[in-house]
Every structure is written in structure tokens, then in C-alpha cells.
Amino acid sequence: MERRKFDVAIIGAGGAGMRAALQLSSGGYNVAVLSKVFPTRSHTVAAQGGITAALGNVTEDNWLWHMYDTVKGSDYLGDQDAIEYLCRMGPQAVYEMEHFGLPFSRLENGKIYQRPFGGQSRNFGGEQATRTCAAADRTGHAMLHTLYQRNIQAKTHFFVEYMAIDLVRDGEGRVLGVVAFDMEKGEPLLIEARATLLATGGAGRIFQASTNAFINTGDGLGMASRSGIPLEDMEFWQFHPTGVQGAGVLISEGVRGEGGYLVNGNGERFMERYAPHAKDLAGRDVVARAIALEIHEGRGCGEARDHVLLKLDHIGREKIMARLPGIREISINFAHVDPLEAPIPVVPTVHYMMGGIPAHYRGQVVVPARTGPEEAVQGLYAIGECACVSVHGANRLGGNSLLDLLVFGRAAADHIVEFLKENPASPPIPADGTDLARSRLARWERRQGSERVADIYRDMQRIMQAHCGVFRKAEVLEQGLVKLEEVRRRLDDAAISDHSKVYNTARIEALELENLMEVAFATIRSALARRESRGAHARDDYPERNDKSWLKHTLVHRDGTIDYKPVRLKPLTVPSFPPKTRSY
């Protein structure tokens, strides 16, 4: 197998991977960044609404208020040390991007433009705050291009259209690099590195209706899981309240931030009933459940009463054209509606994975130890959507993910620098170090079979959608698990035809599907085990939050066994926000 050697291997060229890479390359380290797609096509490019940080440019603000909102938004499952770090570092992270050249929208006085987003308050639960910094409605696009340009300048080495297959570990559990696959040529490549950073993004493709890109297949989670690392809090999936009905494409929360609101089939502004104070800007889990209930109870819109409407024509042409031009385009293209004139048909759509690879707030991957609470996996880091730090707990607030990419991207890079100084030599790759990856690649060489990968893929998505949606209960989840097992067995009989091997697309799809399966099983098993309702996880059979038994993180292993670990309620320097009833 061809080999290359670097100080650090970063899997993923989204906002998280590129922020970390920039920090390391600028520091003189030799960094490889692998991506399945051209870097600026990573899903971060699709982020619309913005990045949240307490700059106080529009209304008075304080990072402690941001911290309070994030803890409450997480339904108290977020770890408060990590949340403090996120919110305290927020303004610095945004100013760094401004100085790198990110073209933010501006206020009259020249400061960075900010808009109100859901779950934001002043003074610990008071009036609505205005905290999300934006570059019109294409903030992620601006961020990703800025980071890419800076990385080119810093001489980061990009491996474009290389798919990481599996981690390389030695007998002591250290991670020594990764085996990748050249997607065009179909050849394997061993990347040896003293530190490996997973930044592979989300896995929304386990569901049928998703705002996520087709490449968001949870590869980092699959790799972690296969190398013996459990996955944390996988029952928590955010359904975004406003995906375009039928298409799944996202309509940013920024629309409601700019004054848009939801109406049901009776023309009623129903969020006033569910969240009298915050209304349409309540937490996303709250709004998504309200929509699902309106539809379920027959108050949906259209002939089939299967969606609600997002009205924004009243906010005026000028504001829509200046602040939400991309949204207007999406609406015209995917809903065939011009929002200047008519409301957009929307439904709750899977959007974001709060769970992921268990990581510390400085990026090290941590696992339950045989003795003591947890220990770091030497040489392995995880950041961004694939990681569970956990700052988003049971429900993420809008705009907090882009912030998480920057803050933990930099924090992980800084920790890696310390690690590299302490570990100047790379341990040798053991003879069997690449076996896991080799056997997976061999499994998906050309082969005979009676099943099509695409059919299995689609059936998995249908099962997850039907059995693990906005509202859940034991019976339905159990049936889902049985069906999922049947579907996974069909993979053994899947064919890779000669023809499709030309561009390796069928092999890649099969490899991705294996990763999605890991994520789907972890999700449904964790959801079945958690017998309470918290944040995005709503159980019909256990409708209340239960802090006495369930104020803890789930850790699900590949064999289905589950451990739990306590929520870290103690922040780094400030007093804790103790759990209380969550209302908006």
C-alpha cells in the first residue's frame, strides 16, 4: 500500500477541519486534510442563518447570557464546562474570522450585523436577544471559502476526493493514522500521522427527509465505532421546524429571526399557544413538535393537510432581498413559491446530530476507562458535528454549530500542538494495523449478489423515518430495530457490478451505507433505552423529563451494550446553572 507521512491527518474539510488545519499549518506543522469532495463543497457551505456569539452589536449582550441560553436549550444535558468555553471564546472566534477576511453583513455603524435566533434571551431568560452574526443568508459559504483561502496560503496539503476508510491503531490503543481510498483510481493510501483528527460532519442521511448533503454519511462515527469507541447521546437528533415540504431543503431560522412566522390550516399563528413568550423563536425541538402536533390533529395546510406555512411577505421586499436572497431562491426553485408574494410550505425535517464521538472540550476523544471516569485515546481527536463535546446536549440552538466548529477547531489544534511536542516520534505501524480497512475494501470489490445497495439504503432511511421520528415510543422503536436488523443482513447479499466499478461509485455508496448503519443502530438503541422526554428526544410513553434517573449521557457500543456517564454540571470558572423546568 502506498504510504505518506504527516504530523497531523485531518479527516474532513468542513468548517471544523479547516479551522483546525489553519491553526496547525500556520504553526509550521505538516498537515494533511482529506475530503470526499472539493473542500468548499463540504456541508458547512450550506449554512445559511449565521454564527452565534455575544458581541452585543444590536442589543446589549453578555457571554454568560449566551451560556445560560445554551444550557437551557440543551435541556440541561450539555456539559457546562464545555458550554462555558464555547460561549466565552465566541466573540474572539468571530473576530478571528473577520480578520481572516470573512465578509460579514454590516450594520449602519459598520459593526458586524446580528439577527435574533431561537432560544436567545437577555439577562437569563428575559427579552429576546439579537446574537447571531450573519453574512446575508450564506454565512457558511462565506466562512468555508475564507478558511479554504487561508489554508492555501498556509500550505495545508489537501487530499481531494479521498475517502477515509478506517483508523489505524496499535496494540496499546494509540491511533497512528488512517487508511484512505482514492475515489477516482480506487487505490488505497496509508496516511501515517502522529495525531489524527476526525471532522467528518453529520449523518443526517440515515433519515429519508433531511436537510443534509448526500455526503453526510457519518463516516467518522463508523470509523470510531469499528475501532472500539462508543458513541454518545445518539438518540438526540434535531428536526428543523422548516424544511421545504417534499424537498427537504432547509429554510433558515433566520427567516423567523427577521420577522417571519408560522400559520396552520385555519390561518392561525399557532406558536402563540405553545410558547406564549418566544412564539416562533422558541427552541427548535419545541417548534418542530408544535408543527407535528398541528398536522397530526388535522390543522395542517393544503389538500392533504400535511404541512404548515411560513409567512414572510409582510417583512417587505427590501429586507428579503438584502437579508434573505438565497431563501427566496430556494423557495422559488424547490417550493415553486415566491415568498415576496405567498407563504412557503414547510415541515419538520432532520437537520443536526447532537450526539457523536465522545470528546473533551479540547478535542481529545475520551472513552470510559476500566478504572476511573474516562481516559483519552492517544493520538485521536474529534470536532464539529461528528463530535459530542457535549455543548448542544439534547437540543442545539441555531447558530451554535458554526461557533462550535471554530472554537473547538482551534482548541483541538492547540492541544494537538502540545501532544506533538510531548510525542516527537511516531510509533511504528503494526503488521496488522491496516487489516480492518483492507478487509472492508476487499469486501466491496466487484462481487455477485441479488440485492442493490441503493434499495437497502432507501429501506434503512424509511425505517428510521417511520420508527424514530419526532415522537417515539417503545413498541415502534422495537419494531424499527427488528426491521433494521433484517435490512443489515441484506447487505451480505449486495452486488457491486462490473459496470459501476468504473467510477467506484457503487463501492463508495456501500462503504458509506455501512457507516450509516452504525449510526442508525446506535440511534435507535439509544432512543429505546432512554425512558424520558428531553430536548429533541420525545417519548409518547414517557412524556416527562426525569432528572432523577436520566440526567446522564448515553454511550452505546457497537455490540449494543450501553453505558452512561454523568453530565458535567460544573462550569470552568463561573457558578453552575442548575436544571429547572424549560419553557419559552
Ligand X SMILES: Cc1cc2nc3c(=O)[nH]c(=O)nc-3n(C[C@H](O)[C@H](O)[C@H](O)COP(=O)(O)OP(=O)(O)OC[C@H]3O[C@@H](n4cnc5c(N)ncnc54)[C@H](O)[C@@H]3O)c2cc1C
**Of these, 34, 83, 89, 229, which contacts ligand X (CB under 6 A)?**
34
Task: Say whether residue 43 binds ligand X (CB under 6 A).
Answer: yes
CA pair distance 381, 412, nearest whole angstrom: 7
**Of these, 192, 232, 385, 509, which contacts ligand X (CB under 6 A)?**
385
Which of these segments, 38-46, 90-98, 123-131, 342-350, binds ligand X (CB under 6 A)? 38-46
Pairing of strands 175-182, 188-198: antiparallel
* Residues 186-205 close enough to bind ligand X by CB under 6 A: 199-202
Contact string 213-232 vs ligand X (x = CB under 6 A): --xx--x-------------
Task: Say whether residue 378 binds ligand X (CB under 6 A).
Answer: no
Q: Measured from the CB of residue 109, what is the shortest distance to ligand X in angstroms?
A: 24
CA pair distance 394, 575, nearest whole angstrom: 21
Active site residue 438: no
Task: Say whether residue 330 binds ligand X (CB under 6 A).
Answer: no
> Nearest CA to 531 among 517, 519, 549, 516?
549
Nearer to ligand X, 49 or 379 (CB): 49
Residue 573 in 3-state DSSP? Answer: coil
Contact string 163-182 vs ligand X (x = CB under 6 A): xx------------------
Mention every residue, 6+ apart, whose C-beta is less than 8 A from residue 392.
70, 73, 74, 78, 236, 352, 354, 400, 401, 404
Nearer to ligand X, 67 or 528 (CB): 67
# residues contacting ligand X (CB under 6 A): 45
> In degrees rounded to 5, what are phi and psi of residue 169?
-125, 155
* Residues 402-431 close enough to bind ligand X by CB under 6 A: 402, 405
Q: Measured from the CB of residue 199, what is the shortest distance to ligand X in angstroms?
A: 5
End-to-end Cα separation, the chain, in angstroms: 56
Are 199 and 380 within 8 A, CB to CB? no
Task: Say whether residue 401 binds ligand X (CB under 6 A).
Answer: yes
Q: Measured from the CB of residue 8, what is the shortest distance to ligand X in angstroms?
A: 15
> In degrees rounded to 5, what are phi and psi of residue 388?
-120, 105
Q: What angle do CA 173, 77, 123 make, to 5 degrees?
A: 130
* Residues 523-542 close enough to bind ligand X by CB under 6 A: none
**Of these, 250, 278, 315, 347, which contacts ligand X (CB under 6 A)?**
250
Burial state string for 134-157 with b = 16 or more CB within 10 A and e = fewer than 16: bbbbbbbbbbbbbbbebbeebebb
Handedness of CA 321, 324, 326, 330 (dihedral sign): negative
**Of these, 46, 154, 429, 476, which contacts ligand X (CB under 6 A)?**
46
Residue 156 grid cell = 495545508
Q: Measured from the CB of residue 104, what is the shortest distance to ligand X in angstroms?
A: 13
The amino acid occupying position 272 is E
Task: Say whether residue 504 binds ligand X (CB under 6 A).
Answer: no
Which of these segments, 224-232, 257-265, 273-281, 399-407, binds ligand X (CB under 6 A)? 399-407
Task: Say whether residue 37 binds ligand X (CB under 6 A).
Answer: yes
Residue 143 in 3-state DSSP? Answer: helix
Residue 193 in 3-state DSSP? Answer: strand
Nearer to ligand X, 440 or 467 (CB): 440
Are 70 and 131 within 8 A, CB to CB? no
CA pair distance 411, 581, nearest whole angstrom: 32
Selecting among 284, 362, 440, 539, the annotated active-site residue is: 284
Handedness of CA 184, 188, 189, 193 (dihedral sign): positive
CA pair distance 438, 434, nearest whole angstrom: 6
Mention every residue, 6+ apart, whose C-beta is less than 8 A from residue 504.
181, 183, 184, 186
Are 506 and 447 within 8 A, CB to CB? no
Q: Measured from the CB of residue 373, what is the shortest distance to ligand X in angstroms?
A: 26
Check residue 172 and report its DSSP letter.
T
Are 129 and 114 within 8 A, CB to CB? no
Task: Say whether residue 102 binds ligand X (CB under 6 A).
Answer: no
Task: Say whether residue 352 binds ligand X (CB under 6 A).
Answer: yes
Residue with CB nearest ligand X? 14
Q: Phi-psi region for residue 363, left (φ > 0), alpha (ψ -120 to 50) or beta?
A: left
**Of these, 11, 221, 271, 354, which contacts ligand X (CB under 6 A)?**
11
Task: Say whether residue 73 binds ligand X (CB under 6 A).
Answer: no
Q: Measured from the CB of residue 452, what is the shortest distance to ligand X in angstroms?
A: 22
Task: Say whether residue 49 binds ligand X (CB under 6 A).
Answer: yes
**Of these, 47, 412, 464, 528, which contacts ligand X (CB under 6 A)?**
47
Q: Measured from the CB of residue 562, what is the shortest distance to ligand X in angstroms?
A: 25
CA pair distance 440, 474, nearest whole angstrom: 34
CA pair distance 358, 360, nearest whole angstrom: 7
Task: Say whether residue 61 binds ligand X (CB under 6 A).
Answer: no
Which of these segments, 63-71, 105-113, 401-409, 452-460, binds ligand X (CB under 6 A)? 401-409
Which of these segments, 33-41, 288-296, 330-338, 449-457, binds ligand X (CB under 6 A)? 33-41
Task: Say whether residue 17 binds ligand X (CB under 6 A).
Answer: yes
Task: Say whether residue 13 binds ligand X (CB under 6 A).
Answer: yes
Which of these segments, 34-42, 189-197, 327-335, 533-541, binds ligand X (CB under 6 A)? 34-42
Nearer to ligand X, 514 or 532 (CB): 514
Q: What angle do CA 145, 151, 155 make, to 5 degrees?
A: 150
User: Hey, which residues are catalytic here?
Assistant: 284
Q: Which residues bind ligand X (CB under 6 A)?
A: 11-17, 34-37, 42-44, 46-51, 139-140, 162-164, 199-202, 211-212, 215-216, 219, 250, 252, 352, 384-386, 399-402, 405
